[in-house]
Amino acid sequence: MLRTHNNGELRLNHINQTVTLCGWVQRSRDKGGMIWIDLRDRYGITQLMLEEGKTPKEILDLSRTFGREFVISATGLVVERLSKNDKIPTGEIEIKITELSVLNPAKLPPFLIEDETDGGDDIRMKYRYLDLRRNPVRQNLILRHSVAKATRQYLDNQDFIEVETPVLIKSTPEGARDFVVPSRMNPGEFYALPQSPQTFKQLLMVSGFDRYYQIVKCFRDEDLRADRQPEFTQIDCEMSFIEQEDILNMFEGLIRHLFTQVKGLDLGEVSRMTYAHAMKFYGSDKPDIRFDMKFVELKSEEVDLVSGKDFVVFDSVNTVVGICAKGCAEYTRKQMDELTDFVKRPQIGAKGMIYLRYNADGSLKSSVDKFYSEEDLKIWAEAFGAEKSGCRPGDLILILPGDGNKVRKQLNELRLEMGNRLGLRDPKKYAAHWVVDFPLLEYGEEDDRWFAMHHPFTSPKPEDMKYLETGELGKIRANAYDLVINGVEVGGGSIRIFQKELQAKMFSVLGFTDEEAKNQFGFLMDAFEYGAPPHGGLAFGFDRLCSLFGGSDSIRDFIAFPKNNSGRDVMIDSPSRIDDKQLNELKIRTVV
């Protein structure tokens, strides 16, 4: 080793030892008579000290040539500091330098290597290797390592076996777009990169592996958003001879273990909620339940407190639904306008927002006073009362009119916005719950056909199988479940189909011809004929889980070398053109 110690470990008990340290020059302070250098590595910072008249002149001179981020080696005696620094663990000592050398000089970095940097996103991505030197970024990746380690620890203890499944697999048109890989040895043919190891883990269950997991890279060629990457990592799991309840318990156990190990937190109760409940009361299949603010319906299939008063906006829609914002009755006109603008943004798309102020003095004031009497409004306020959302004088009721789930999703956005404004979404507080009983299928208007909401291997609930026969496909609930933490879907899965006939039926419902089903998934249906056990599983989005643990919204901060929104790695400048020789060998041409 070029060093005897790292920069995070020296303490008072090392005093009088001669040590050699290596690292990066964080900063250098030259006070004329004294020079102090902060030497940094992954483990910490140690202060080096040089003294005019005592330290040999050539060493003093050399030390004055050091710029930020120079890589140096320093030998000296550990001494007690006169003025101690209690902000760093090595703050009680410093090194009285006797030897010094430059291992590698450094150009001035294009941005500050500090916790708070002056570098923008683009420059930090181009020089990601410098960005990774910064404490917060490195800590994110160390956190990621801890989460992986604790995951393996739990699953190993529960008899899961990690099995690597192939990366070069077969393209299947169902689901998102595949990345493909031309095969040189099989000209005209392509591998695909897996969107998940789904079929392989099911085959491992057919093989009797009983409990499988893998922390594994997956790939989706989708248009990217801030929280999407073309390559991402999953904690992928599958179990045999289980029912849904077993999966929920097993992985509630995992998430609880991760919180204890990584965050030192007891997660508390992991509650359960049906999809139907989540949509009705939160307008989302991944509600953030750190705060309550449940929806109250003024008009729906079950209730109508608004129609027939000549207010055409409410008369012409099938759903009027609102939330109660505690203590916001005094919101200013400006604040109300902000909220209206918020829900009218094209990403949300509400037509407008109606409010009802429940003033502190008990009076009611709405934006639709023209149509509704004080008596009418009182009925509304009562609907938001004790049982429903505990609306009281001083609160503000925000109402959106619209069409079923569409307006509910709009109101969900408003609810989250109000949660933010009212400080109800503390990233240091965690609330986890399962959403269960998802619909098996959803209708795609555009393609005029049914799609699997989860994937084609998800099993319907036995009691809903009758709707397969009656054709009421939208009524079929699936044995499918998502784990939601703080409004983020961190994982999801299902109990799988394990019978060939049912799987074939499902492909047919999804519009596969028999030939297409056989061509794409014949191996799986064959496997089901040779003794497939009942099985199910789930996958966690590992990047997202890490960002949640790190209290950040961006998964990119938890990936060592992420890609930008155009799928580019700007550091290595990839993707890039390849040689004609390569194209010729692969027997492909580009047609751009």
Site for a second copy in 109-148 (CB under 8 A): 109, 127-130, 132-133, 138, 141-142, 144-145, 148
Size of the site for a second copy (CB under 8 A): 125
For residues 241 and 443, which CB has a smaller minimum distance to a second copy in the complex? 241
Query: Contact between 27 and a second copy (CB under 8 A)?
Result: no
SS3 337: helix
For residues 301 and 573, which CB has a smaller minimum distance to a second copy in the complex? 573
Query: Contact between 168 and a second copy (CB under 8 A)?
Result: yes
Site for a second copy in 470-499 (CB under 8 A): 498-499
Preceding omega of 575 cis (within 30 degrees of 0): yes
Comparing C-alpha atoms, which of 237, 273, 176, 225 is closest to residue 544?
Answer: 225
Taking the C-alpha atoms of residue 465 and residue 479, their distance in angstroms, rounded to an integer, is 12
For residues 22 and 343, which CB has a smaller minimum distance to a second copy in the complex? 22
Kind of pairing between the strands at 93-104 and 44-51 = parallel
Q: Which two tokens stand for residue 175?
A: 């689901």
Strands across the sheet with 161-162, in order? 161-162, 211-219, 231-240, 535-541, 488-495, 480-485, 432-436, 271-274
For residues 192 and 298, which CB has a smaller minimum distance to a second copy in the complex? 192
Taking the C-alpha atoms of residue 74 and residue 256, their distance in angstroms, rounded to an integer, is 45
Site for a second copy (CB under 8 A): which residue of 49, 60, 200, 381?
A: 200
Instruction: Give the end-to-end CA distance of the chain in Å, rounded to a whole number.
Output: 52
- Cα atoms found within 13 Å of the Cα of residue 331, Cβ hemisphere only: 27
The three state secondary structure string of 186-228 is CCCCEEECCCCCHHHHHHHHHCCCCEEEEEEEEECCCCCCCCC
Query: Contact between 503 and a second copy (CB under 8 A)?
Result: no
Query: Contact between 348 and a second copy (CB under 8 A)?
Result: no
Query: Contact between 284 and a second copy (CB under 8 A)?
Result: no
Instruction: Write down the least CB distance from residue 433 to a second copy, Å.
Output: 23
Query: Contact between 457 and a second copy (CB under 8 A)?
Result: no
Query: Contact between 228 and a second copy (CB under 8 A)?
Result: no
Say if residues 236 and 216 touch (Cβ distance below 8 Å): yes
For residues 80 and 246, which CB has a smaller minimum distance to a second copy in the complex? 246
Comparing C-alpha atoms, which of 502, 482, 499, 480 is closest to residue 491?
Answer: 482
Query: Contact between 186 and a second copy (CB under 8 A)?
Result: yes
Site for a second copy (CB under 8 A): which residue of 231, 417, 489, 516?
A: 231
Instruction: Write down the least CB distance from residue 218 to a second copy, Å.
Output: 10
187 by Cβ neighbours in 10 Å (0-12 / 13-18 / 19+) ranks as exposed
Instruction: Write down the least CB distance from residue 463 to a second copy, Å.
Output: 18
Site for a second copy (CB under 8 A): which residue of 154, 219, 372, 434?
A: 219
Site for a second copy (CB under 8 A): which residue of 166, 352, 362, 427?
A: 166
Instruction: Write down the least CB distance from residue 163 to a second copy, Å.
Output: 5
Query: Contact between 510 and a second copy (CB under 8 A)?
Result: no
Site for a second copy (CB under 8 A): which residue of 3, 280, 388, 406?
A: 3
Site for a second copy (CB under 8 A): which residue of 196, 207, 307, 340?
A: 207
Query: Contact between 225 and a second copy (CB under 8 A)?
Result: no
Query: Contact between 236 and a second copy (CB under 8 A)?
Result: no
Instruction: Write down the least CB distance from residue 152 to a second copy, Å.
Output: 7
Cα dihedral 361, 363, 414, 274, rounded to 10, equals 90
Q: Which two tokens stand for residue 534?
A: 């009942």
- Cα atoms found within 13 Å of the Cα of residue 23, Cβ hemisphere only: 24
For residues 166 and 427, which CB has a smaller minimum distance to a second copy in the complex? 166
Instruction: Write down the least CB distance from residue 301 to a second copy, Å.
Output: 38
Query: Contact between 165 and a second copy (CB under 8 A)?
Result: yes
Site for a second copy in 76-115 (CB under 8 A): 103-107, 109
Site for a second copy in 516-555 (CB under 8 A): 522-523, 526-534
Query: Contact between 465 and a second copy (CB under 8 A)?
Result: no
Residues 176, 182, 183, 188: is their CA dihedral positive or negative? positive
| DSSP 8-state secondary structure symbol assigned to residue 126 | H
The three state secondary structure string of 393-458 is CCEEEEEEEECHHHHHHHHHHHHHHHHHHCCCCCCCCCCEEEEECCECEEEECCCCEEEECCCCCE
Instruction: Write down the least CB distance from residue 487 to a second copy, Å.
Output: 26
SS3 167: coil
Instruction: Write down the least CB distance from residue 170 to a second copy, Å.
Output: 4
For residues 135 and 318, which CB has a smaller minimum distance to a second copy in the complex? 135
Query: Contact between 563 and a second copy (CB under 8 A)?
Result: yes
Query: Contact between 502 and a second copy (CB under 8 A)?
Result: no
Kind of pairing between the strands at 319-325 and 296-299 = antiparallel
